[in-house]
Amino acid sequence: MGMKMKKSWVLPVLAAGILAAGLAGCEKKDPYGLSAKDPVTITIWHYYNGVQKEGFDQLVQTFNESKGREKGIIVEAYSKGSIDDLSQAVTDSIDKKIGSDPVPDVFAAYADKVYEIDQRDMAVDLSKYLTADEIGEYVDAYIEEGRFDGSEGIKVFPVAKSTEVFAINKTDWDKFAEATGETDAAFSSWEGITRVAEKYYKWTDSLTETPDDGKAFFGRDAFANYIIVGSLQLGHEIFRVEDGHVIMDFDRTAMKRLWDNYYIPYVNGYFGAFGKFRSDDVKTGQLAAFVGSTSGFAYFPTSVTLEDGTSYPIESKVYPLPNFSGTEPCAVQQGAGMMILKSEEKREYAASTFLKWFTGVDNNIRFSVSSGYLPVKKEAGVKERLETVLAENGEEDAAGENLLIGLETANKYQLYTTKPFEGGDQARAILNTTMADKAREDRETVLSLMAQGMSREEAVEQFTEESNFEQWYEDTKEQLETIIGE
């Protein structure tokens, strides 16, 4: 009897021991060797600053205290300043330049930079760490942006996106609208913006006795987007990449329409660019409206401070990006994704685990609300869901409106981003500067001629001739052809 009792006691204990060992074995059998007892530290470099950095850091901390602790992953995130500073820091680290930091596991990058790194065979194909169902959860266009080598591989992990919106100093606009009868219907097209800008200049000019001291109405950041997206709207994709080759379509007629709705109003003084960013120009009262990124709306001023020190509070309002009359709505798709640099599989897997967690619907919406970026998953892009979160967070003001307008743009417009190609950064730089710089320089000449006693109309006349456009067009086309090798 005693022997039987002893056996009945020993066997369960042995079974429990075997079960515990089995469970312990299961815990250790992470497919890539991750262990909570021996965590791996992943380094991420990004370019978020201000409220965006705060939002990102909070989520990193949440991950480290939850999923990261459970899986054995510690994330350390560092801001490297601007996207250009970050890009240079990554290049310096890869090239092992003196004074550079060790290469990170993950860094934020646009597709052009990832393409450059991928040419050195250092970019991880993220599809090995994502199932087909997981890939399907993301907005298709965001996934396609990371596919650029002719395969199904994904080299850019979408984490936060942005597009462009039209933002205006509503306080000053209301004064102008009441005096002139203008309505915000003009904001739907570039032609409408150009027409209203001229009227605004003349109205502000009429408020003083000094002739031709009217104010510019409009400006824009990221000028290359105007050229690239505007040309696409008008039926011409400037850079089309097929089988690794670049086909350029720099159409003269499309460029003329772009010229007429930026350069011409600019040299007349109806448009302007004065500070580093157009939000700075609204802050100083030099502009009333601008087009900028949804992620940059946090910098829209809440007051205007004039040159004489006078300051007054303003309200802002956000509208969808204007389009050319008679075209289908189109907007830029931007916002850097994350690239994982090749290392050992355990580190790559750990990095992908964090990125998947970060882009989980609730986490991604949380980051969107704090940063102004758009969420990247289809489920997170449902307007009603975002409205609920905004209401819960007390973000039903202009910042919340900005996010909802951005989401509406993402859902209703054709979103576009140029596929990366060798020399793509240089080509974009040309589009970003040639017309914009010429407009600014020629406006300065106009002001100089006016200071010498010439009327604005006479001073502007020499710059509005067709030959001026033709020279710009041919010069710019030649520069682009040199870069892409045509």
Q: Is residue 470 part of a domain?
A: yes
Residue type, 469: F
Are 427 and 437 in the same domain? yes
Q: Is residue 235 part of a domain?
A: yes
**Which of 230 and 21 is assigned the larger pLDDT?**
230
Model confidence at 151: pLDDT above 90:
no
At 11 the pLDDT is 35
Are 327 and 348 in the same domain? no
Phi-psi region at 241: left, alpha or beta (left = phi > 0; alpha = psi -120 to 50): beta
pLDDT band, residue 170 (cuts 50/70/90): very high
Helix count (H) and strand count (E) of the chain? 20, 14
Are 201 and 117 in the same domain? no
From 381, 409, 444, the end of a domain falls on 381
Per the structure block, which two tokens stand in for 391?
A: 């209401």
pLDDT, the chain, mean: 90
Q: 255 and 231 in contact (C-beta within 8 Å)?
A: yes
At 450 the pLDDT is 95
First to last CA, the chain: 96
pLDDT in tens, 468-486: 999 999 999 999 999 998 6
Torsion of CA 406, 409, 410, 416, to 10 degrees: -110
d(CA 1, CA 197): 102
Model confidence at 23: pLDDT above 60:
no
Per the structure block, which two tokens stand in for 301?
A: 């001023």
At 396 the pLDDT is 55
Model confidence at 19: pLDDT above 80:
no
pTM: 0.87
With a pLDDT cut of 70, the percent of the chain lying above it is: 92
Are 291 and 429 in the same domain? yes
Model confidence at 110: pLDDT above 70:
yes
Q: Which domain holds residue 284?
A: 164-332+417-484
Q: Is residue 396 part of a domain?
A: no
Q: Is residue 67 part of a domain?
A: yes
The DSSP 8-state label assigned to residue 216 in this structure reads: P
Are 192 and 274 in the same domain? yes
Residue type, 57: D
Q: Is residue 150 part of a domain?
A: yes
Model confidence at 8: pLDDT above 60:
no
Cα torsion angle, 170, 171, 172, 175, sign: positive
d(CA 150, CA 157): 17
Q: Is residue 393 part of a domain?
A: no
Residue type, 149: D
Q: 203 and 214 in contact (C-beta within 8 Å)?
A: yes
At 395 the pLDDT is 59
Are 310 and 459 in the same domain? yes
**Which of 149 and 437 is assigned the larger pLDDT?**
437
Are 370 and 323 in the same domain? no
Q: Is residue 12 part of a domain?
A: no
The stretch 229-254 carries a mean pLDDT of 94
State the CATH number of the domain containing residue 305: 3.40.190.10
Q: Is residue 401 part of a domain?
A: no
pLDDT in tens, 343-373: 999 999 999 999 999 999 999 998 988 888 9
d(CA 191, CA 324): 7
Cβ contacts of 12 within 8 Å, gap of 6 or more: none
Are 245 and 124 in the same domain? no
The stretch 63-70 carries a mean pLDDT of 97
Are 328 and 373 in the same domain? no
Q: Which residue matches tokens 């550079």?
A: 100
251-260 — which CB contacts under 8 Å span 24+ positions? 252/473, 254/230, 255/227, 255/231, 255/469, 255/473, 255/476, 256/469, 256/473, 257/230, 257/324, 258/226, 258/227, 258/230, 258/231, 258/234, 258/435, 259/435, 259/469, 259/472, 260/194
d(CA 366, CA 297): 17
Count of domains observed in the chain: 2
DSSP class per residue in 343-364: --HHHHHHHHHHHHHHTSHHHH
At 1 the pLDDT is 36
pLDDT in tens, 266-296: 999 999 999 999 999 999 999 999 999 998 8
pLDDT band, residue 3 (cuts 50/70/90): very low
At 12 the pLDDT is 39
Are 173 and 272 in the same domain? yes
